[in-house]
Structure 1
Amino acid sequence: MKLFKLNAEVREDLGKGASRRLRRTNDFVPAIIYGADQAPTPVMIDKPSLYKAVDDEAFYSSIITLNVAGKTEKVVIRDLQRHPFKPLLTHVDFLRIDPTHKLTMNVPLHITGQEACVGVKDQDGVLHVLATDVEISCLPEALPEYLELDVSKLEVGHTLHLSDIALPEGAESVALSHGADHDTAVVNVTRPNISADAEDAAEGEEAPAAE
């Protein structure tokens, strides 16, 4: 798993006006750290390192080390707020982690074997990816950077579900913990749609010539 480290400073000047002033400096992004039965800590995150980190998919499902005034905090992202129309981050919520308590996180799902997929390569089917992440529950030490699902043997008319995804030891699917009826489809292969005009044309070609 990738290691993410960010530098932060404690915020003394609070409130919406203070946050706006902080963002205008272009050096920091306002944030807060909460959880683990501790008081919330308003902080400001070094902007260049934060912007670099958020471009990495793994950042959103990784344990992050925050260096706050010489003290380290282990956290995960809980919310990332963006400006409604500008490419700017406006606020970040970090959740402290407790190594003895399970986390609930959305982990990216990587679909592998697409080029070799039987249903697409040999049966002229169309592959449909129905989920891009999976919500799991696990201890922090078991948190994966991403999950994988191989579709190379998937045939036309077949579907893979949440239960087909291999999870790390100690991790469980939040959806499946509610019962088998929550075993939703993740990826399938279907036959391509044929338009009515194409079907009529095909039927015309197959019809015997009138005598």
Structure 2
Amino acid sequence: MQIEFKATKRVEQGTGASRRLRRAGQIPGIIYGSGEAQAIALDHNELYHLLRKEAFHASILSVNVEGAKQTVLLRDTQWHPFRQQVLHLDFQRVDASQKIHLKVPLHFANGDVSPAVKLGGCMISHTITEVDVSCLPGNLPEFVVVDLANLQAGESIHVSQLPLPAGVELVAHGEGDPVVATAVTVKGAVAEEGAEGEAA
């Protein structure tokens, strides 16, 4: 499901113009990439609610600029330091034939039924919550599932073990194979085992 929202062309630019827009309940924004950059104004209320959705940050979006639809990705969001107010949004145009690079959230599943939790008294520590991927826009997943069903006490799941959809590649940063999730023994469980050992 593609998320669509509306925008209008913004003629006036500069700090004063942006301030007036915000007072009127609008957000200044820009669409750039493959062609001329286009200054736009967006409805603050509509975008504030969309920004609260995980999918809005990791999906191909459709922006309707006065009747002309453009396919874009959200690239940057500027927030007010202490108010719940969006100050500026950057969008990048998407070409269906060009690969994109984007952070995709991880969804952890079956942690409560894993042997580490059920039998080992462990907690699952989520070391990272998103991964960088590269793919064509049509292959972009909204999220990647991390299945914890077989995780044993003391074991970890690494980035290289994540199941990726066809046409999607991981973008590696630096050396090694980062840990995604680890089964960590809870201190209370260790203390209980120790006490049982002493009693025996």
TM-score, scaled to structure 2 = 0.92
- What residue is the counterpart of 1:16 in the other structure? 15
Q: CA deviation at 1:47?
A: 2.2
2:102/2:132 contact within 8 Å kept? yes
Q: CA deviation at 1:123?
A: 1.1
SS in 1 for 2:101: strand
- What residue is the counterpart of 2:98 in the other structure? 101
- What residue is the counterpart of 2:176 in the other structure? 182
Q: How far apart, in 1, do the equivalents of 2:48 and 2:164 lie?
A: 30
Instruction: Compare 82-91 and 45-54 and name the one that shifted more.
Output: 45-54
Q: CA deviation at 1:206?
A: 2.4
- What residue is the counterpart of 1:29 in the other structure? 27
1:23/1:90 contact within 8 Å kept? yes
The unaligned stretches of length 5 or more in structure 2 are none
SS in 2 for 1:43: strand
Q: CA deviation at 1:43?
A: 0.3
- What residue is the counterpart of 1:6 in the other structure? 5
Q: How far apart, in 2, do the equivalents of 1:182 and 1:31 lie?
A: 38
2:121/2:189 contact within 8 Å kept? no
SS in 2 for 1:170: coil
* Per-residue Cα deviation, 1:153-189 (whole angstroms, up to 9, x for no partner): 100111100011111111100017x6xx431000011
Q: CA deviation at 1:191?
A: 1.8
* Per-residue Cα deviation, 1:135-154 (whole angstroms, up to 9, x for no partner): 10000000011110100110
Larger radius of gyration: 1
SS in 1 for 2:84: coil
Q: Which structure 2 residues correspond to residues 193-204 of structure 1 after superposition, within 5 A?
A: 193=187, 202=195
Q: Which amino acid aligns with 1:202?
A: A
SS in 2 for 1:115: helix
Instruction: Compare 141-150 and 48-57 and name the one that shifted more.
Output: 48-57
Q: How far apart, in 2, do the equivalents of 1:3 and 1:52 lie?
A: 16
SS in 2 for 1:182: coil
Q: CA deviation at 1:64?
A: 0.8
1:6/1:46 contact within 8 Å kept? no
Taking only the aligned residue pairs, the percentage that are identical comes to 37
- What residue is the counterpart of 2:55 in the other structure? 58
Select which of 124, 134, 145 maps to 1:127: 124
Q: Which structure 2 residues correspond to residues 56-95 of structure 1 after superposition, within 5 A?
A: 56-95=53-92
- What residue is the counterpart of 1:154 in the other structure? 151
SS in 2 for 1:120: helix
Q: CA deviation at 1:194?
A: 5.5
Q: CA deviation at 1:49?
A: 1.9
Q: CA deviation at 1:192?
A: 2.0
2:103/2:130 contact within 8 Å kept? yes
Q: How far apart, in 1, do the equivalents of 2:110 and 2:188 lie?
A: 26
Q: CA deviation at 1:65?
A: 0.6
- What residue is the counterpart of 1:206 in the other structure? 198
1:173 aligns with 2:170: yes
| RMSD of Structure 2 on Structure 1 (CA) | 2.1
